[in-house]
Amino acid sequence: MKKMFTKRRGVTIAVVAVVAVCAILFGGRFLFSQKAEALEYTEFTVTRGDITVSLSGSGTLAPVAQYEVVSLVGGEVLSDTFREGDSVEKGQLLYTFDTSEMQNSLERANLSLEKSRMNYEKVVASHSGLVVTAPIAGRVAELYVQEGDNVNTGGRVAKVVDDRKLTARIPFSEGDAAQLRAGQSVRVTVENTFEVLDGAITKVYDSSRIADGYVTVKDVDISVENPGLLSAGTFVSVEAGGLSSYEGGELKGGTEKVVTAQAGGMVEKLHVLTGENIGAGAPIAALSSDTAADSLKEGYLSLREAELSYENAAKQLADYELTAPISGSVISKSVKAGDSLETSTKTVMAVIADMSEMSFTINVDELDIAKVKAGQQAIITVDALAGQVFSGAVDNVGILGTSSNGVTTYPVKIKPDRTDGLWPGMNATATIVVDSVRDVLMIPVTAVNRGSLALVKGGTAAEEEIDQSEAPDGAVYMRVETGLNNENFIEVKGGLSEGDVVLAAAAQATALQQNTMMVMGPGMARPGMGGAGTVNVERYGGPPSGTGTGGQGGTAPSGGSRPAGGGG
């Protein structure tokens, strides 16, 4: 079996023929008398064989995954950790740059961020100050503002007094005080009203003092729950365990707070009334201020800008170490330790390729692209590896075509199943089998005329509607059912039998003979040879109009035209 490849529109036509099939190609040549004109015909015998339609094309091998290691920063390259030809793993450190200047930039960005954060916290606090709240739980003793008043930052708004529990410092004689202790219950008598309340001792002082009347006394602190009518300054006396105080004392409030505005603004609403009891954190007044809202927004924007600047500086610092983007082999290295790179220029420092997967692209004619599908098997040969055949498959069929001289081609990516021995840049050829039939009846495409008619020598006309006026003496037109065809042969599914002799116009037969001689070589074709064979042709010619399933029309060799199909 011998192969020959001819080039049409940049796509190779592969034709494989078995010598035995030549019985179809070369028969006797006869001159038939046909009314006023004489035509020369060539005989072809209907025989069995295989018909294969394939597409071939060439391209340049390249790794499927190939990445350039590009510098994103400038400066001195401090180290490199690999050599050209080394295998590297994804994430492996390749280069380091001098980071001293970038470290300074990152520190400045961090300082700016801290300042912006502090300023924003102040602005937030100021904006929160537009709602004046009670610092402690207690009674609103006084309100210093009314709704509609303007208040400056630090201005008084209200006074809150926590007088739920009142205290007093009461003297006991030194002897009686020695019998008292903290936590002991006492009875508190309010002078003027003589109301008696329960209380407790909170502290007994160790030191003594001389009271009026030259009596030695010790002070005792007591506390009493305010039923709501007592106030600071009320005079009370105390009895503890049957022991009466030497003198009475004044009640004092627990805690008193003057509430001030944390931000300036107009009093939009008062939430409390004078004398009202409120809890800690309860709102007292609401202020409004356009400038405070603007300051809050400006503070947030400044903080966010500082955050982005710091994040960008931190990201740039990471760029001072370059790592391998994929696992693979270093196929080129152009920068080494000690080199200095310009900051404004992105330099390709190395190229890494995954040599475990390669592919190449062939261009397929627009008439044939519909036959190609992803996953179809391909036979691959490489110019640099004579005698070796690689298996592969169609990986992808491109949908964006390229037009040239009125012809459109589409890219088809081919992937070899194995890559051992293959290198990027090698020229490879792929043959894709798009369709085939085996052990079928076949005749030359030129023997089928329009309307699926074949001129059969010695045949019997079976259909009255077939016009036989143009048939030469000794032959009739018969309708045939056709199937797959390539450039030269067409499958016969019905209408003819093995051994039948069909006729084709000599001019068409001569073209077929020339094509076969080019494929098989001079001296290989012999008239009258019989037997089955295989013809493997990349199809550029179509079957006659209305015949076959192999496509419509075809592509002529460079500089030619597309035939409309065979005809008789």
Q: Tens-of-pLDDT digits for all 568 residues of the chain?
A: 233 323 333 333 333 333 334 444 444 444 444 433 457 889 999 999 999 888 999 999 999 988 989 988 888 899 999 999 899 999 999 999 988 888 888 899 999 999 988 888 877 766 666 788 888 888 888 999 999 898 888 899 999 988 788 899 999 999 999 999 999 999 999 988 889 999 999 999 999 999 988 899 999 999 998 887 777 888 999 999 899 999 999 998 778 889 998 878 888 899 999 988 888 989 988 888 777 677 778 888 988 999 999 998 888 888 888 999 999 899 899 999 999 888 777 889 999 998 889 999 999 999 999 999 999 999 999 999 999 999 999 999 999 999 999 999 999 999 999 998 999 999 999 999 888 899 999 999 999 998 899 999 988 877 778 888 888 889 999 999 999 998 889 999 999 999 999 998 876 555 555 554 433 333 333 333 332 222 233 332 333 333 333 333 333 223 333 333 333 3
Q: Which amino acid is at 440?
A: V
DSSP designation for 471: P
Q: Single out the residue of 148, 115, 91, 420 nearest to residue 265, CA to CA.
A: 148
pTM exceeds 0.75, yes or no: no
For residue 282, CA distances in Å to 149, 159, 255, 533 come to: 20, 13, 17, 102
Bridging pattern class, strands 448-449 and 427-444: unpaired
For residue 358, CA distances in Å to 369, 421, 428 come to: 22, 11, 11
- The beta strand positions in 112-151, using DSSP E, are 131-133, 138-143, 150-151
- Give bridge partners of residue 38 from the DSSP assignment: 33
For the chain, give percent helix, strand, coil, nearest 5. Answer: 15, 45, 40
| Radius of gyration (C-alpha) of the chain in whole angstroms | 53
For residue 186, CA distances in Å to 202, 231, 238, 248, 540 come to: 11, 19, 7, 13, 120
Model pLDDT, residue 180: 95
Bridging pattern class, strands 534-537 and 47-60: parallel
Q: How far apart are CA 484 and CA 490, in angstroms?
A: 6
Model pLDDT, residue 481: 95
CATH 3.30.2130.10 fits 12-54+436-552, yes or no: no
Model pLDDT, residue 129: 65
Q: Which residue, chain included where needed, has tokens 């000794």?
A: 474
Model pLDDT, residue 304: 92
For residue 559, CA distances in Å to 9, 184, 406, 407, 552 come to: 10, 122, 12, 12, 20
Residue pair 98/319 in contact (Cβ under 8 Å)? The answer is no
* Element containing residue 312 per DSSP (H, E): helix 290-318
